[in-house]
Structures are given as C-alpha cells and as structure tokens.
C-alpha cells in the first residue's frame, strides 16, 4: 500500500535579506520519513526545530531547497495530492468577516462538496467541534480558541485521507484539548492518516503509533512508540509503610517521597532483596509497579544530547 507521506532528503534553507545580515537558516536538513497509510505520526521538537517548515513543504506552501516529498505517491505541487489533505495551520487566519458556517462551507466547496452533501458535512463538523451555537456569528467576534475550533472544522469537512494538525491544542481549554484527542481517535478509527505536531507530549504519546523527534532541523529519532519507549520495566517503584528514611540509607533505593509512606525507585533486579530487607525491619510493602519511560523522558534526553534547544542552524 502506498504511504500517506514519504519524504526523502527534504531540505529547506531560508535566505535572510541583507538587513538581517544575509545569513542562511537551515530550517530542515535532509528529512527522510514515512507515514504509513492509516497511521498517526506524532512529531515533537523544540521551538524552531523545523516542524511547521516540514508541514508547509508537504502542502506546497513553500518549495524545498532540495529533496522530495510525496503524498499518497504524488508530489505536493499536484492539486490532486493536496485534495487528499485536511490542514490545521499553527496560526489559522480564517476570513474574519465570514461567519463560522460560511467559512466552513467555503472550505467544503473548494474541496468539491456540493448541495445537500455539503450542507450535511458542514453541520456535522460544526457539531463535532462544538461550534453549532456560534455558527452564524462572524469570525472576528470569536475568541482565540473558537477560531482554532472553526479552523479544525475546516480541516475535517471534506473527510481528508491525510489530516495534518500543527499545534491543534494551541489556545484551547482543557475541554478543547480533550476534544482534539477524541477527534484524532475518531479519525484514526476511520482509517485517516494523521500527522500530529504538538508540544503537549503526553497527548502525542497517547495518540501516535509512530514518533519523530526533530531538533535543529534534523530528525534525531524516529520509530514506533513501542520501540522508542522500550526501556519499560528496567526500574520499579516501591512504596512501604513502617519504614523510615534513615533505615534505607546506603540501599540501592532512590527516594521519591518520604511521607507516611516511603516511596522510592530501584532496579527491577534489586527489588526482591530490598523487599526482604524492609520486611525484616517490620515494614509492609504497599505497592510495586514498573516505571515506564515516557516520551517526555526520551524527548528531554534527545534535546540534551543534541545540545540545542531553540531554533536551527544559522550560517
């Protein structure tokens, strides 16, 4: 089956004007990755890592300096490739003098929907983003989160085969964030391929089967979540009652909290011996569970290893 997205050596170098010193910014440096059809790829990276640049290249909003991109096997400059894509930009700027419903209807028409089918879809997506009540209000009267919701409705209206979400939770409240998670899951269940760029790392971890970590324009890690976070189980967290901090001094046990219960971490291989020692001191083991490495741990470690936090290489 053809991949939803396939890029090879995709590179974008922005040239700054003389006023800005005539320098070059290497925003994306040889990106090669794939999104298999029906998969959710989560892309994480610090500010200025090149995430939005990669997305804009996929949508032919900007042209690559070198390298190629394909959407379901077609280059982005072909309208037929872009017709398959629903896009939520990081800073949506819908026509402010249209109402929400008019704007979503316009998006539906531009995607080729007509008549009753168009009207049905417009109502459906306005309901999905919970903007039914504000559908006939001009967008210039919307709050930031409302604009985000209407832009999301626009991205969904034509039932795209590939959904590209650039910071979908930006400006949204807790309910909005939950809504995004539900929409991603619903779309995933329909078989939509999704590229999800977000700084909310726990959401990316929960929703994606594949992850890409971009730092300074370079892809530093990519693969299935299950492989990237495979250190699961090498450490455990133990919680004891009846054990004091002083009693465990010198044990291979890193204390996490020392309240009524003493909670700490140790290597899984040490757990049995520690539990026996605590038991001999009259303590009770209250809980024991494996410590899961999170995407956040992996991300922070990658940023540290790269030694770069914000932006890309300026030459």
Ligand X SMILES: Nc1ncnc2c1ncn2[C@@H]1O[C@H](COP(=O)(O)OP(=O)(O)OP(=O)(O)O)[C@@H](O)[C@H]1O
Query: Which residue's CB is nearer to Mg ion, number 151 or number 158?
Result: 151
* Minimum gap (Å) between residue 56 Cβ and ligand X: 8
CB of 25 closer than 8 Å to CB of 13: yes
CB of 100 closer than 8 Å to CB of 92: no
Q: Which residue has the tokens 């919970």?
A: 130
Query: Which residue's CB is nearer to ligand X, number 50 or number 160?
Result: 50
Query: Which residue's CB is nearer to Mg ion, number 35 or number 108?
Result: 35
* Minimum gap (Å) between residue 150 Cβ and ligand X: 21
Choose the contact partner of 92 out of ligand X, Mg ion, none; CB within 5 to 8 A by kind. Answer: none
Residue 122's CB: how many other CB atoms inside 10 A?
A: 25
Residue of 5, 28, 43, 52 that binds Mg ion (CB under 5 A): 52
Residue 77's CB: how many other CB atoms inside 10 A?
A: 10
Query: Which residue's CB is nearer to ligand X, number 216 or number 264?
Result: 216
Round to whole Å and give the CA distance between 186 and 284.
45
* Minimum gap (Å) between residue 226 Cβ and ligand X: 25
Round to whole Å and give the CA distance between 125 and 149.
10
Q: How many residues bind Mg ion (CB under 5 A)?
A: 3
Round to whole Å and give the CA distance between 154 and 140.
16
State the DSSP string of 259-313.
SSEEEEEEEGGGHHHHHHHHHHTT-EEEEEEEPPPPHHHHHHHHHHHHT--SS-E
Instruction: Give the interface with ligand X as residue ranges (CB under 6 A).
Output: 14, 25, 27, 45, 47-53, 90, 311-312
* Minimum gap (Å) between residue 215 Cβ and ligand X: 9
Choose the contact partner of 111 out of Mg ion, ligand X, none; CB within 5 to 8 A by kind. Answer: none
Query: Which residue's CB is nearer to ligand X, number 86 or number 216?
Result: 216
* Minimum gap (Å) between residue 223 Cβ and Mg ion: 22
């Amino acid at each position: 089956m053809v991949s939803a997205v396939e890029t090879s050596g995709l590179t974008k170098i922005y040239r700054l004007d003389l006023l800005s010193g005539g320098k070059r910014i290497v925003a994306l440096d040889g990106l090669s990755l794939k999104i298999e059809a029906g998969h959710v790829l989560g892309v994480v990276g610090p500010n200025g890592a090149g995430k939005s640049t990669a997305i804009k290249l996929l949508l032919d909003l900007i042209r690559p300096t070198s390298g190629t991109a394909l959407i379901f096997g077609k280059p982005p400059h072909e309208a037929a490739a872009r017709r398959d894509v629903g896009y939520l930009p990081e800073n949506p700027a819908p026509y402010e003098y249209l109402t929400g419903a008019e704007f979503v209807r316009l998006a539906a028409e531009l995607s080729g929907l007509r008549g009753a089918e168009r009207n049905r879809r417009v109502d459906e997506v306005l309901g999905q983003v919970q903007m039914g009540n504000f559908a006939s209000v001009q967008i210039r009267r919307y709050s930031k989160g409302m604009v985000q919701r209407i832009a999301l409705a626009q991205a969904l209206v034509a039932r795209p085969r590939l959904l590209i979400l650039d910071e979908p939770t930006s400006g949204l409240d807790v309910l909005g964030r939950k809504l995004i998670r539900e929409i991603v899951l619903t779309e995933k269940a329909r078989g939509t391929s999704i590229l999800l760029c977000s700084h909310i790392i726990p959401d990316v971890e929960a929703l994606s089967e594949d992850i890409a970590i971009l730092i300074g324009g370079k892809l530093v890690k990519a693969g299935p979540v299950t492989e990237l976070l495979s250190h699961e189980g090498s450490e455990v967290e133990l919680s004891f009652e009846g054990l004091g901090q002083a009693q465990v001094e010198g044990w291979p046990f890193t204390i996490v909290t020392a309240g009524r219960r003493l909670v700490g971490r140790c290597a899984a291989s040490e757990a049995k011996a520690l539990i026996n020692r605590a038991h001999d001191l009259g303590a009770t083991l209250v809980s024991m569970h494996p410590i899961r490495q999170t995407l956040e741990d992996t991300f922070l470690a990658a940023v540290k290893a790269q030694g770069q936090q914000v932006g890309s290489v300026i030459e």
